[in-house]
């Protein structure tokens, strides 16, 4: 059985800057001997969904803006840097960057958390289209959508870390 400190060290960042999820999953006895994608993702998601709305909002707010100031300053987590680069967000033109900046600002002012999307398999145009569509959602719709995207991101991160079965 993996020790708690090892588990939290290894999986505490799967939900961006939110190690409490890994800590609770471990402490609640949800983690067994077999560390596979499903056997880690399912308990982490259960803890995330059981967290208070304020805690889940904190997880959403822990995510960086897409192509935002942290990316420019080189201060993204390694996972976020790779994810954004895979979608070409590290190679935007000045006009594209201005559009992302404008959408990030409008979105965050409206919803109180950054736009979150699992970028794997998407390019900047697909991300912009989703951004422009989702900005018209209600806060409840967007909170649910962003939370689902966080769960997808966690799954993608775990898939790169663990065997499937």
Which residues are the active-site residues?
63
What is the chain's Cα-based Rg?
Answer: 16
Q: Half-sphere exposure of residue 95, counting CA atoms within 13 Å on the CB side?
A: 1
State both tokens at 46. Answer: 């259960």
Tokens 């409490």, located at residue = 20
Helices (H) and strands (E) in the chain, counts: 9, 0
Give CA–CA dist 38/42, Å, rounded.
6
Q: Is-contact 89 127, C-beta < 8 A?
A: yes
HSE-up of 159 (CA within 13 Å, CB side)? 7
Considering only the C-alpha atoms of the chain, give the largest distance between any 2 of them, rounded to a whole number of Å: 51
């Amino acid at each position: 059985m993996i020790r708690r400190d090892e588990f939290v060290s290894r999986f505490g960042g799967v939900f961006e800057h939110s190690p409490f999820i890994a800590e609770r999953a471990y402490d609640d006895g949800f983690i067994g001997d077999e560390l596979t994608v499903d056997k880690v993702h399912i308990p982490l998601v259960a803890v995330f969904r059981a967290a208070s709305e304020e805690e889940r909002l904190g997880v959403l707010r822990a995510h960086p803006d897409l192509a935002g100031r942290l990316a420019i300053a080189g201060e993204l987590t390694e996972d976020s840097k790779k994810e954004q680069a895979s979608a070409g967000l590290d190679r935007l033109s000045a006009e594209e960057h201005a559009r992302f900046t404008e959408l990030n600002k409008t979105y965050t002012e409206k919803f109180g958390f950054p736009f979150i999307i699992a970028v794997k398999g998407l390019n900047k145009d697909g991300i912009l289209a989703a951004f422009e569509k989702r900005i018209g959602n209600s806060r409840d719709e967007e909170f649910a959508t962003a939370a689902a995207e966080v769960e997808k991101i966690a799954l993608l991160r775990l898939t790169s870390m663990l065997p499937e079965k």
